[in-house]
Amino acid sequence: MAVLDSILKNRLITGFAIGALVFACILLGGKSLLIFLLAFIIIASQEYAKILKHKGFLPFFKVILITSVSMVLVSASGYYSLFPLVLLIGTIVSFLAVLFRGRQPYIANVATTILGFLIAWMPCHVFMIRHMGSKVSLAGVSFEQGLYFLLFIFFVIMATDIAAYFFGVRFGKHKLSPVISPKKTIEGAVSGGICAIITGLIIGKLIGISIYHSFVLSLIVTVMAQLGDLSESLIKRDAGVKDSGNSLPGHGGFLDRADSYLFSVPVAYYYIKYFILTGITFPVITEFIKKVFYVICI
């Protein structure tokens, strides 16, 4: 019991410290958020390469790092149209690196290198969300609407993680994914989702998002957060490691702490961009689907 209390204490202290740092960087935005993202991606890329080497693969860390940093700088510059170009160059260089370095197995090294910078591309959407939307003013301070959206996501994910952990420990009986992540339970996942939606509805009301969009966005974020968690566990389980690192007491590595954001942030970004800000409606989507089927049939 004393050991469990110590682990829980370390987890809470570390979680609070990291959460406070992330929260501060989100509020400040700009260079502070950029520096944080760069530091995170560099460390996370190192953890990823180490995990894959434990499996026996040899991803090219330099290619992952250079491509990942380039994508962060693209997100900071606002020239999002350059993402495909960076991804294309990174993919080509990944093949060339294997062709001329002669590592085995060839396909696995290319694939794991590309996966490495694709994983790094996802957190770039944090910066993209932070600086999206029109300017608003509060108490004489001007900032983008994206700050509201990012805080919404931040608190919904936090509610998901906290509720899933505590309710899972207390009431969890049915395993969510026995092979991939045996400690996670269906009870914890459902409780995390319910608390996340409640949190999202409250935050949405405070920042002026409609009940409908608050509900849908909360549902998207909590589902993607838990899928991201399971996906990172899949990589670790396949590689035969427990944690991505040991730099964060009670949490493991940086990838372990950020796994909930890997899928949720980019998916939330596109929902906010196309449905909340642009205002695409379901009739528009229906019409688009009809046109696609029409082209296929022809």
Per-residue pLDDT of the chain (298 residues; tens, 9 = 90+): 454 456 566 667 776 777 788 888 888 888 999 999 999 999 999 999 999 888 888 899 999 999 999 999 999 998 999 999 999 999 999 999 888 876 566 788 899 999 999 998 998 999 999 988 887 766 566 678 899 999 999 999 999 988 988 888 788 677 877 767 767 888 889 999 999 999 999 999 988 899 999 999 999 999 999 999 888 888 888 888 877 777 666 667 788 888 889 999 999 999 999 999 887 665 666 666 666 766 777 6
Is residue 16 assigned to a domain? no
Q: Which of 130, 159, 180 is the last residue of a domain?
A: 130
Q: Transcribe the chain into DSSP letters.
A: -HHHHHHHHHHHHHHHHHHHHHHHHHHH-HHHHHHHHHHHHHHHHHHHHHHHHHHT----HHHHHHHHHHHHHHHHHT-GGGHHHHHHHHHHHHHHHHHHH--SSHHHHHHHHHHHHHHHHTTHHHHHHHT-S-EEEETTEEEETHHHHHHHHHHHHHHHHHHHHHHHHHH--SEEETTTEEEEEHHHHHHHHHHHHHHHHHHHHHHT--HHHHHHHHHHHHHHHHHHHHHHHHHHHHHT-S-S-SSBTTTBSHHHHHHHHHHHHHHHHHHIIIIIIS---HHHHHHHHHHHHHHHH-
Q: Which domain holds residue 189?
A: 140-298
pLDDT of residue 11: 66
Among 130, 162, 192, the domain boundary falls at: 130
Q: Is residue 147 in a domain?
A: yes
In a domain, 175, yes or no: yes
160 and 278 inside one domain: yes
User: Do residue 214 and residue 106 come from a single domain?
Assistant: no
**Co-location of 258 and 114 in the same domain:** no
Same domain, 160 and 265: yes
Query: Do residues 170 and 258 share a domain?
Result: yes
Give the residue from 102, 130, 158 where a domain finishes: 130
Provide the number of structural domains found in the chain.
Answer: 2
